[in-house]
């Protein structure tokens, strides 16, 4: 196992797939010479050259349009949108063209395209640069949606996304870039649509995604140490496809479900999981489903206010105890 930061795992994942397959190309704003605004793509230009690693103009519509055309004509592009908030600028191309081309051509044209983007709060960038937008992508048929929480998942899920024939939106959380973790040596490929059970407990199942995963694990530790409540923690990892089998199995075993979401509460991904669990496991549930979320507000830039609205370890523990007292 190699020890990598989440940031370095991004570059390692892209390099692995570019070295393996010459049809993989990488394009985006400041991703080449500058190594990315978050320094997650350092070294790729030197290794693969300007033909395959291309800086684009500051135009999300132009770079996503170019990536779509490249995918339609035989390449496997990885395109970077600097902040996930900027997906709004090119959302027509993604939602109305990229997501639907394979369906509308009856499979004659595939779309092997990965759009990776920096997502989420915690960096004090304010309302227009801090949103978690996975639930936007979930609502569009034809898109696959991935949000890794660890360096190993960055590499493995990126490899799976690049090799997939369908378009994948790959959400990297900004606040995780500096975190470290083990990554398997050699070529590492994971599987889309598979959740991971990270901790086993008997009293409650906590389901989390991306930056909420380490918080859920810390909350589970505190619940066990201070309150005698043992929690199972499930990292969703992939929202589309969604691994309902793993999630429902763990919820059925504990009888209680808590989702921890950075998304605004209204129509968050946890609402979909709660709906599925209530339909499939009605007689297995021992209490109401709890959703710990960000409130339905624009994200503030002030440190104390941003920390207040984003789910914290303390809040997860408090709400679990209040709900299941």
Angle at 137 between CA 133 and CA 143, to 5 degrees: 150
| pLDDT digits 0-9 by tens, 255-265 | 999 999 999 99
Burial class of residue 3 in the structure, from the number of CB atoms within 10 Å of its CB (0-12 exposed, 13-18 middle, 19+ buried): exposed
Q: What is the pLDDT of residue 72?
A: 96
Structure token pair of residue 126: 């304010």
Mean per-residue pLDDT, 145-156: 98
Q: Are 2-183 and 196-323 in the same CATH fold? A: yes
Q: What is the mean pLDDT of the chain?
A: 96
Q: What is the pLDDT of residue 1?
A: 81
Q: Specify the 3-state DSSP secondary structure of 170.
A: strand
Architecture of domain 2-183: 3-Layer(aba) Sandwich (3.40)
- Reading across the β-sheet that carries 231-235, which strands appear in turn? 196-199, 231-235, 204-208, 257-264, 290-294
Residues identified as active-site? 60, 129
Q: What is the pLDDT of residue 322?
A: 82
With tokens 């968050």, the residue in question is 268
| CA gap 248, 320 in Å, rounded | 19
Q: pLDDT band for position 325 (50/70/90)?
A: low
Q: What is the pLDDT of residue 324?
A: 73
Q: What is the pLDDT of residue 140?
A: 97
pLDDT-wise least confident of 65-69, 119-123, 244-248: 119-123
H helices of the chain, in order, are 6-20, 44-52, 60-72, 91-92, 101-104, 134-138, 151-162, 212-227, 244-254, 269-280, 303-309, 313-323
Architecture of domain 196-323: 3-Layer(aba) Sandwich (3.40)
| Domain boundary assignment for the chain | 2-183, 196-323
**pLDDT score of 58 more than 80:** yes
């Amino acid at each position: 196992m190699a020890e990598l930061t989440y940031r370095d795992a991004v570059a390692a994942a892209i390099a692995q797939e570019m070295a393996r397959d010459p049809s993989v190309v990488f394009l985006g704003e400041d991703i080449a010479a500058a190594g990315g605004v978050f320094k997650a793509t350092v070294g790729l230009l030197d290794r693969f050259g300007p033909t395959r690693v291309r800086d684009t103009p500051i135009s999300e519509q132009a770079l996503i349009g170019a990536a779509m055309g490249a995918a339609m004509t035989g390449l496997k592009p990885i395109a970077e949108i600097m902040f996930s908030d900027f997906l709004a600028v090119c959302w027509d191309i993604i939602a109305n063209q990229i997501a639907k081309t394979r369906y509308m051509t009856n499979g004659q044209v595939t779309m092997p395209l990965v759009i990776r983007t920096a997502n989420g709060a915690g960096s004090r960038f304010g309302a227009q640069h801090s949103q978690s937008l996975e639930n936007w992508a979930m609502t569009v048929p034809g898109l696959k949606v991935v949000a890794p929480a660890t360096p190993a998942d960055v590499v493995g899920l990126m490899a799976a996304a690049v090799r997939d024939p369908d378009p994948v939106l790959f959400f990297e959380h900004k606040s995780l870039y500096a975190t470290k973790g083990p990554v398997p040596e050699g070529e590492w490929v994971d599987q889309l649509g598979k959740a991971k059970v990270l901790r086993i407990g008997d009293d409650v199942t906590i389901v989390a995604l991306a930056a909420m995963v380490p918080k859920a694990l810390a909350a589970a530790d505190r619940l066990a140490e201070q309150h005698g409540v043992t929690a199972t923690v499930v990292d969703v990892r992939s929202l589309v496809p969604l691994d309902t089998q793993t999630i429902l199995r763990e919820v059925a075993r504990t009888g209680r479900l808590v989702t921890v979401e950075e998304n605004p509460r209204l129509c968050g991904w946890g609402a979909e999981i709660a709906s599925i669990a209530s339909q499939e496991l009605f007689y297995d549930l021992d209490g109401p489903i709890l959703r710990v979320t960000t409130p339905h507000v624009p994200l503030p830039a002030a440190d104390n206010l941003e920390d207040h609205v984003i789910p914290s370890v303390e809040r997860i523990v408090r709400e679990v105890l209040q709900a299941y007292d």
